[in-house]
Structure 1
């Protein structure tokens, strides 16, 4: 077995972490031969609940799990970690707008960025799940200047998984048979689900998806359904997505850590270099491939006029969020 790696999960007493921790600890993310220690961070009032989570992890008798450290101290939580799942954030509730989350959450991610900068390994891979995820990741990166900006990502894999299921159902195939559905931009209602480069396999034959998907369905049903799926789950459950969010976080980190499959790319929100006209310096979701723990934006893909116009809207939102978040961090709001 490989040497023990240290993985921190914030918001560890919460509902997303409850689904996430078992998948990590049994080897679904970092590999079934990778021993690990879990650092579980939450706020002081949640320490009693967190102790119950620790007991359950112990009772699972998972062979890869070497140590569990529950704590309300960021110093201890981020000490020498190799990977970070930043889940803890004020949750979005029914009727809340994304901007309502900014003032409360950016301060959390400023503190965690400073802690990562001070205590974590400089090679740490950081996945921000807590919303607004793209901007929280940007804030976190800003306050961790000694860690490469490429090491900070935000999760749009949940949106990709949602989109992939809808395409598969429409085409009458399994989700495993659909590849290269893209989510561009922000993890918000302005995100841009895109099937122009998607393909699928049916009866042993690989095909482009778009000729077999009706444009009316794509534009008027598929795109708004994916964009608004999070709000629909909240309306139904009265709670935000948890099981599906945990699965997507595992998918994201697994592909980053272990590499994407040949011929396939995945959606990750990463620091923008200006590809496809996205503004530089924001955390923007692109199609990427991964290898050796590094991601690379896929270049040269078809981007139609309709998609490109939507990219401008999601870019505008990210720039507005960035400016507002930084103003909060600097005490101007």
Structure 2
């Protein structure tokens, strides 16, 4: 149990836990602790003073009032505002109710990392869910990253996003995931020097098993889960198996960055802008066995093979460029592709909440049960999907296969099945047996 000590100096308070001692200084932008042990909440709700219908809404700060006796709070009443959010907006409360949607709760793990550093501000700005969608961000970190999480929350405060109504930070997924409607699971341990892939599967698998249990216990029953931490296909399977009360269709492994890279390479080769490229699928695992599908892809509405006649380039150089793009970027820049990964997460979410353009589709690592392609069931595998914009999806049925595409898909399928056997102890399927065929980790995972 945490104990809060107030010192003789009003501006200083200390939170003591059984393991750590954190010190914070209060200010007009102070954090309000709901659970002092490891969970802090910032309320970012603008204050709307009561006015008559004809009064002008002004942007001003409330003047200090004389102390009054404490009263029991109405649980339905909005919490008090803090810091700069005590300024009124030019939007009346009744107008907000009419024009804005219901608050959406978005949980993000690895929230102090580089990918999140790009992603969170896109979420808060309205770029992802729309200009009329208020959002609450629930940020999950670790004991080591707690101070950095506070810095992230401070930056979000200072950005003054009107749609960002709440930010909460913590290290306990059972608290942070409470009522989450979207869970973006980015945090994962990177592969260190000398670490075998089987070791990484086990270490990260335990993280996602625990997060799956937490989602199952406290998240919305229809929470949409996007797994980014690698190996993302198998981590998504582990998370899903540990959340049996959440529909399996709600779990996604991120392969959208691979799709975006494939579109870029096809556009460059054809000499067109990327928006002319459609129907691109990434099949399989998020590894070097992934299969960028040029057979079904189109450029200006025409099959790729009618526009790009160089079949050798398509079968060899194109596939290799997509698979190794992250490694080349690291060599050039000295860091992984955090910004483009954040963009691809935004694209993945938008593909689920926006109707798919007629005749097109997008790639996502999803549960294979009932798939029409003959891919082994009970794994998470990237396949072509369509959505009507309600957060759900359906698998595309009208796709073509040739021997080249089929053989590549089967190779990636074998790898995903091997990974699944390696984490059987985390999915409730018995004793783990690791027989991974080769090391196919993407460079950015190391």
TM-score bucket of the superposed structures, by smaller chain: over 0.9
Q: TM-score, normalised by structure 1?
A: 0.94
1:182-204: CA deviation from partner (whole Å, max 9, x where unpaired): 10011110010011111122xxx
Instruction: Determine which of 258, 275, 278 is the counterpart of 1:176.
Output: 275
Is 1:111 equivalent to 2:210 in the alignment?
yes
Q: Which residue of 2 aligns with 1:244?
A: 340
TM value normalised by structure 2: 0.71
Distance 1:247 1:100 in 2: 29
Q: Distance in 1 between matches of 2:283 and 2:303?
A: 19
> Secondary structure of the residue that 2:206 maps to in structure 1?
helix
Aligned alpha-carbon RMSD (Å) = 1.7
| More helix, by proportion | 1
Matches of 2:334 and 2:424 in 1, distance apart? 30
Q: 2:420 aligns with which of 317, 322, 327?
A: 322
Alpha-carbon separation, structure 2, partners of 1:289 and 1:94: 40
Determine if the alignment matches structure 1 residue 21 to structure 2 residue 120.
yes
CA distance in 2, matches of 1:237, 1:275: 41
Is 1:47 the equivalent of 2:142? no
Q: Which residue pairs with 1:64 in the alignment?
A: 163
CA distance in 1, matches of 2:298, 2:110: 37
Conserved 8 A contact 1:259-1:293: no
Paired residue for 2:223?
124
Structure 1 residue 74, shift from structure 2 partner: 0.9
Aligned residue runs from structure 1 range 297-308, under 5 A: 297-308=395-406
* Alpha-carbon distance in structure 1 between the residues aligned to 2:142 and 2:365: 27
2: CA distance, partners of 1:239 / 1:94: 16
Structure 1 unaligned spans of 5+ = none
Q: 1:230: which partner in 2? A: 326
Residues in 2 aligned to 1:152 and 1:98: alpha-carbon distance in whole angstroms = 23
Instruction: Give deviations 1:236-258, integer Å, cap 9, x for gaps.
Output: 44433211111101100111122
Q: Distance in 1 between matches of 2:426 and 2:327?
A: 25
**Number of residue equivalences:** 329
> Corresponding residue for 1:6?
105
> Aligned runs of 1:278-293 on 2, under 5 Å?
278-291=375-388, 292-293=390-391
- Secondary structure, counterpart of 1:226 in structure 2: helix
Q: Secondary structure at the match of 2:423?
A: helix
Asked if structure 1 preserves the Cα contact closer than 8 Å seen for 2:233 and 2:285, the reply is yes
- Listed as ranges, the gaps of 5+ residues in structure 2 are 1-99, 433-446
Match of 2:298 in 1: 199
1:90 corresponds to: 189
**Contact 1:94 1:238 survives alignment (8 Å):** no
Which is further off, 84-93 or 172-181? 84-93
SS of aligned partner of 2:373 = helix
Alignment check: 8 A CA contact 2:238 2:426 kept? no
Looking at CA atoms only, which structure, 1 or 2, has the larger radius of gyration? 2
Local SS of the residue matching 1:245: helix
Distance in 2 of aligned mates of 1:151 and 1:165: 28
Which stretch shows the higher mean deviation, 146-155 or 323-332?
323-332
CA contact (8 A) 1:30 1:258 kept: no
